[in-house]
């Protein structure tokens, strides 16, 4: 099947062939899709470009396996390949963890009638940053996953004012990292 789209002389052919063979190894032969559709071709093209990250390659192969299985391929969306290609290994770790657990954040800030809210500071959060290669980039990674890729959201679910002498002087905010609807579908393909 892939021979009709990729030349044996192409230097990336061995990588594409190996990924294809890995992707179909656990699929019953009668369930393997015989023709390459747009989604499958997009995944293969992404594999052709290559990555140095073994974890990302393994997830590309997982998407390919879904695309080549006629019983599972409806779970995929063509955007999943592009989304995956934009992730770092730390962002993949974050998504995997959010897909499997809820993480709560407690943030405190000061309040002044003239200035509004300021001096935001995390009081507590339970995300295991020690699992990340670059834990100092955690908040940037969260921002990227939330604002750019729209895979997660970080809603505030509770706020408590801090009162001193009958005046508000601060605020405690409680929030959780959760998947968006797109994130649930994307992460289910990668991690379930």
Mean pLDDT, the chain, rounded, equals 92
Residue whose token pair is 């032969």? 29
Instruction: State the pTM of this model.
Output: 0.86
What per-residue confidence (pLDDT) applies to 69? Answer: 96
Residue 99 CA to its chain's centroid (Å):
9
Higher-pLDDT residue of 40, 8: 40
**Where are the domains positioned within the chain?**
2-83, 94-184
* Euclidean distance between CA atoms 15 and 49, whole angstroms: 10
Q: Report pLDDT digits (tens) over 106-128.
A: 999 999 989 999 999 998 888 99
Q: What is the pLDDT of residues 150-189, one digit of tens each?
A: 999 999 999 999 999 999 999 999 999 999 999 999 999 9
pLDDT digits (tens, 9 = 90+) for 63-75: 999 999 999 999 9
Structure token pair of residue 74: 């409806």
Residue 3 has pLDDT above 80, yes or no: no
H-only helix segments in the chain:
13-24, 38-49, 54-67, 79-85, 89-100, 138-143, 181-191
Q: What is the DSSP letter of 34?
A: S
User: For position 61, what pLDDT does the model report?
Assistant: 95
Q: In angstroms, rounded to a whole number, what is the distance separating the alpha carbons of residues 13 and 168? A: 65
Q: What residues contact 73, with CB distance under 8 A and at least 6 apart?
A: 33, 37, 39, 66, 67
């Amino acid at each position: 099947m892939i021979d009709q789209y990729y030349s044996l002389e192409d230097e990336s052919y061995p990588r594409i062939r190996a990924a294809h063979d890995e992707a179909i190894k656990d699929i019953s032969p009668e369930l393997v899709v015989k023709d390459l559709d747009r989604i499958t071709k997009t995944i293969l093209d992404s594999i052709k470009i290559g990555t140095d990250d073994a974890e990302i390659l393994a997830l590309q192969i997982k998407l390919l396996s879904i695309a080549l299985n006629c019983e599972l391929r409806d779970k995929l969306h063509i955007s999943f390949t592009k989304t995956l290609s934009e992730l770092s290994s730390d962002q993949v770790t974050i998504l995997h963890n959010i897909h499997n657990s809820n993480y709560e954040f407690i943030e405190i800030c000061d309040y002044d009638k003239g200035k509004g809210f300021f001096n935001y500071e995390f009081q507590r959060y339970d995300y295991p940053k020690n699992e990340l290669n670059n834990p100092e980039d955690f908040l940037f990674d969260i921002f990227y996953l939330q604002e750019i890729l729209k895979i997660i959201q970080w809603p505030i679910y509770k706020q408590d004012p801090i009162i001193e002498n009958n005046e508000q002087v601060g605020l405690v905010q409680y929030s959780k990292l959760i998947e968006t609807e797109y994130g649930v579908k994307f992460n289910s393909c990668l991690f379930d």
